[in-house]
Amino acid sequence: MDLIATLQIALRVLLRNKARSILTMLGIIIGVGAVIAMIGIGQGADQTVQKQIATLGSNMIFISSGSRRVGGLSVGYGGTKSLVESDVEAIARECPAVVAAAPGTQTSAQIVYEGDNWGTRIVGTTPEYFDIRTWDFQSGSSFTHDDVTTAANVAVIGETVRKNLFASVNPIGKKMRIGSLPFVVVGVLVAKGQSAALSEDQDDTIIAPLTTVQKKITGQPWLRFAMVSASSRANSYVAQQQIEALLRDRHRIRAGEPADFVVRNLADIADVASEASQVMTVLLGSIGGVSLFVGGLGIMNIMLVSVTERTREIGIRIAIGATEGDVKRQFLIEAVVISLFGGVIGILLGIGASFVISSTAGWPIAISTVAILVAALVSIAIGIFFGFYPAQKAARLDPIEALRYE
């Protein structure tokens, strides 16, 4: 019997028992829906994380002093005083996989401009910092190496600081005070936005020469952190290892002893940041998997019922010349039509669900055509797998007994 005729028969049988067919499809609908939603949400969350990670800098490696780690991600600053500027210079000089390195210290301070004041974070560093973080200026420019050498009172401000203190004026060349020190604004950075990975507003910051912050604000000659750019993304692990080895050597830490610094590359940070979306992905994935299995069993069950109900029909078909293959194909196609229909409805529902969840969470909508194709193929596979036994049973009926069946 040709495929079109078989399909027509299958469709007619399924339409005859509409409620039953839909109930049977439910497991597949939920399963495929959950998997499609899972992939959509997972990809959306992943894209968001990747985008945020990218804002941290190009192939960035983050070195922080001290070994205090809170919650795996929060960088414990200032635990030790052993990370110094010469370490960073050595990294830039001696690690081949490193293209740039910037020392950094950090503190918080109150900034005053005319009548307004704003509490923010002050980062002391060198001009390399802006390259490593691939951070452009919306106006003005970076302070210079001379500024760092002379500990000049100049600063670059982030977008959040600009909005709060210089909402209506051009901040370039304006004098503001940090504590009692007057600073001239030389540059305004473009907005980077909220970083989910570091859970902070990256634009709420002031960046000044390292020496200025060390000598005039914190009074601490050591570093809180350093940022390093690896020569390529692939090289970031190599660079990380080179930095660790170099720093352990410089800090005279023996093998096996815990280090007094922490080196992380972006991949580590990305992993932690995507943990939340992974939990959701695993949850939806397991719901989907179990649902697909139960859905498959439902199809098998209903196909067995159908074979029993239609024993006489099968007997007639065999008597007038249907081969085992003909009968098997007919029931397999019915099972596949059920599961494929369920799959298609599930795909639509899954797209809808990921649309709703993604827009609620503010993630981009990511619908993967590959996922849809795979879901459709999996639905067909489930139909074949779970339809096989009932189809086999139908094909092996004895026509003489089947014709007598009431």
Partner 1 sequence: MGDNRVHALRGVNLEIKRGEFVAIMGASGSGKSTFMNILGCLDKPTLGRYLLEGTDVAALDKTQLARIRNRQIGFVFQGFNLLSRTTALENTELPTLYARIAKTERRERALHSLSLVGLGDRTDHFPSQLSGGQQQRVAIARALVNRPSILLADEPTGNLDSRTSVEVMEIFQTLNDQGLTIILVTHETDIANFARRSILFRDGSIRRDELIPKRLIATEVIKTMPKLDD
Binding site for partner 1 (CB under 8 A): 1-2, 5, 16, 312-313, 315-326, 398-400, 403
Shortest CB 397 distance to partner 1, Å: 12
d(CA 55, CA 33): 33
In terms of DSSP bridges, do strands 205-209 and 154-157 run parallel, antiparallel, or are they unpaired?
antiparallel
User: Closest separation between CB of residue 318 and partner 1, Å?
Assistant: 7
| CA-wise closest residue to 56 among 163, 176, 193, 180 | 193
260 vs 313 by CB, closer to partner 1:
313
Alpha-carbon gap, residue 363 to 380, rounded angstroms: 31
Nearer to partner 1, 133 or 317 (CB): 317
Q: Cβ 315 to partner 1, closest distance in Å? A: 8
Residue 320 CB, shortest distance to partner 1, in Å, is 5
Report, in Å, the least distance between residue 393 CB and partner 1.
16
CB of 286 to partner 1, least distance (A): 42
Q: Compute the distance between CA of residue 366 and CA of residue 355 in angstroms, rounded to an integer.
A: 8
| Identity of the residue, 68 or 393, whose beta carbon is nearer to partner 1 in the bound complex | 393
Strand-pairing partners, residue 199, are none
Closest CB to partner 1 among 19 and 370?
19
Phi–psi pair at 99, nearest 5 degrees:
-100, -30
Residue closer to partner 1 by CB (options 323, 359) is: 323
Tell me the closest approach of the beta carbon of residue 300 to partner 1, in angstroms.
24
* Closer CB to partner 1, 13 or 351, in the complex: 13
Question: Between 20 and 215, whose beta carbon lies closer to partner 1?
Answer: 20
Distance CA 368, CA 359 (A): 16
What are the φ and ψ backbone dihedral angles of 84, each rounded to 5 degrees?
-125, 170
Q: Residue 189: which of 232, 247, 144, 133 has the closest Cα? A: 133
Instruction: Give the nearest distance from C-beta 20 to partner 1 in angstroms.
Output: 15
For 5, 289, 354, the CA distances from 68, given in Å and listed in that order, are 71, 40, 38
Which CB, 49 or 333, lies closer to partner 1? Answer: 333
Give the type of residue at 365: I
| Strand positions, DSSP E, 145-275 | 154-157, 175-178, 181-189, 194-195, 200-201, 205-209, 225-230, 261-265
- Residues paired with residue 69 on neighbouring β-strands, in sequence order: 75
Evaluated on CA atoms 230, 235, 237, 238, the torsion sign reads negative
